[in-house]
Chains A and B, each alone.
Chain A
Amino acid sequence: MKKTRINEAHYILKGKMVEFCGWDLPVQYSGLNLEHMAVRTTGGIFDVSHMGEIWFRGREALRAVNHIVSNDAAKLVPGRIQYAGLLTDHGCFVDDLLVYMIKENEYLLVVNAANIEKDFQWMKKHTARFDVQVENRSEEYSQIAVQGPVAEKLVQEFTDIDLKPMGYYHFAQGRVQGADAIVSRTGYTGEDGFEIYFRADAAAASKLFLDLADRGEKYDALPAGLGARDTLRLEAKMALYGNDIDDAHTVLEADLGWILKLKKAEPFIGQEALARQKEAGIARKLVGFELVDKGIARHGYPITVEGKPFGAVTSGTFAPFLKKPIGMAYLPADHSAVGSEFQVAIRDKTVTARVVETPFYKRSK
């Protein structure tokens, strides 16, 4: 099993370790609910070093990035970030990612842990005709996410970057406890927060994590694991690759039309298929639901719509902050309006679910 450079810290903090995408990572420390509530009310500190960092550098870096992503990277300026889809010819997801514009002719693409090698090969193959160097530097970087209302104060104690003026989806480069770092105001929890990408050896990386956890006590922030990361992102209706988005559903079906820029200058993979689908309309759509009956509808539980089978729950849990069972699923587009009801099979029972407004949780600014 692969270990992040922060691995030692998880054992010191008595994390409950599990294998995730080949990595030895904590599913929780003090408890999933406590950690989830800490992020919503104070703060949480996550090791997300398993994420991938792929660099695009060269005269045609912008064209190369824009050829493979759904969003329009030409709109970026140095220090800004976009969420985008890496798409197949059919307009489905190879992965979802963040695009950081480091400077002219240099971009950082942050991808999911499970997809690093697949994405890297895909990117090299489809940008071969551009004057660009594509480099997978995932092994070099550690990443810590600090999320929650106290994140700015907590991270500020560790960096020379002035965080206060930094806007959402902006980043800056500087030092974090002596290490070269990129600090961005981004996250996967629905809260304010930062993601710190840094290069340091295992001792320094573990120390930074432990020091953040230690200093975090002052703010009632907690180290948090993969369990809370999943329930937090689901409450915020953020898609998880492999569950809610995949290579069988398009950007439009995933209700992520806002990351699709069909009219951008550079032709891109998936453009034609998505232009056609936009014209024709979608047959199914990703929605958020709550259960009307008791129970928890989890990933993979079968769905029926008006008595007919229609796929399965893509993500589902009991939402720790909202204190109710929620989930996501693809439904027939003509049956996807808020208030529409459908059924989920939970073991030997059939329960009714109802489409609701999303995100389920939205923080007050």
Chain B
Amino acid sequence: MAKENLLYSKDHEWVRREGGFVVVGVTDYAQHELGDVVFVDLPAAGKALKKGDPAANIESVKAVSDVYSPVTGKVTEANARLSDNPELVNQDPLGDGWIFKASVEQASELDELMDFPKYEEYLKGIAGE
């Protein structure tokens, strides 16, 4: 997926809109910060999500990190391939390494996310800190 067509959260999740649904993953910056991913704790389909709440957990050797839901809605599918191949998060974070799909209750929440140029600016700000 072209990174230019995705939306981004401040917690380094990316979001792809697919009609009334979204696909959520973590950015290349996030996977790099995490280091080698060894386990992804996936949400069950049907799990209710609130924007900003932890939806999944990514475990690297050194730490566990939350994946926050960028929307309020319900999990419709988790990426089952990650159960046996968690390294996909490192190898293809914007593609095969996607984490979950969810329904969107309030489309306006998506307006609060950054587009790619804004996210790039945001990353520059972090690097400059």
- Could you tell me which A residues sit within 8 Å of B by CB distance? 27-28, 31-33, 36, 227, 231, 294-296, 298, 317-318, 320, 325, 346-347, 349
Residues of chain B contacted by A227 (CB below 8 angstroms): 61-62
Contact A296 B36 (CB under 8 A): no
Contact A296 B38 (CB under 8 A): yes
A294 to B42, CA, bound (A): 11
Residues of chain B contacted by A27 (CB below 8 angstroms): 62
23 of the cross-chain contacts (CB-CB < 8 Å) are A27-B62, A28-B35, A28-B62, A31-B36, A32-B35, A32-B36, A32-B61, A33-B36, A33-B61, A227-B62, A231-B61, A294-B83, A295-B59, A296-B38, A296-B59, A296-B64, A317-B61, A318-B38, A320-B36, A346-B41, A347-B41, A347-B57, A349-B41
Main secondary structure of the interface of A (DSSP, over half): mixed
Number of interface residues of B (CB under 8 A): 12
Contact A318 B39 (CB under 8 A): yes
- Could you tell me which B residues sit within 8 Å of A by CB distance? 35-36, 38-39, 41, 57, 59-62, 64, 83
Nearest CB of A to B50, in Å: 15
Nearest CB of B to A40, in Å: 14
Nearest CB of A to B85, in Å: 13
How many residue pairs at the A-B interface have CB separations less than 8 Å? 41
Nearest CB of B to A269, in Å: 37
Nearest CB of B to A211, in Å: 28
A180 to B64, CA, bound (A): 43
A294 to B62, CA, bound (A): 17
User: Given A318-B59, A347-B57, do A294 and B64 touch, yes or no (CB 8 Å)?
Assistant: no
Nearest CB of B to A294, in Å: 6
Residues of chain B contacted by A33 (CB below 8 angstroms): 35-36, 61
Residues of chain B contacted by A295 (CB below 8 angstroms): 39, 41, 59
Nearest CB of B to A44, in Å: 15
Residues of chain A contacted by B83 (CB below 8 angstroms): 294
Residues of chain A contacted by B35 (CB below 8 angstroms): 28, 31-33
Partner of A32, one of B39, B41, B59, B62: B62
Nearest CB of A to B99, in Å: 16
| Listed residue (B38, B62, B83) with the most chain A CB atoms within 10 angstroms of its CB | B62
| Listed residue (A32, A296, A346) with the most chain B CB atoms within 10 angstroms of its CB | A296
Nearest CB of A to B41, in Å: 7
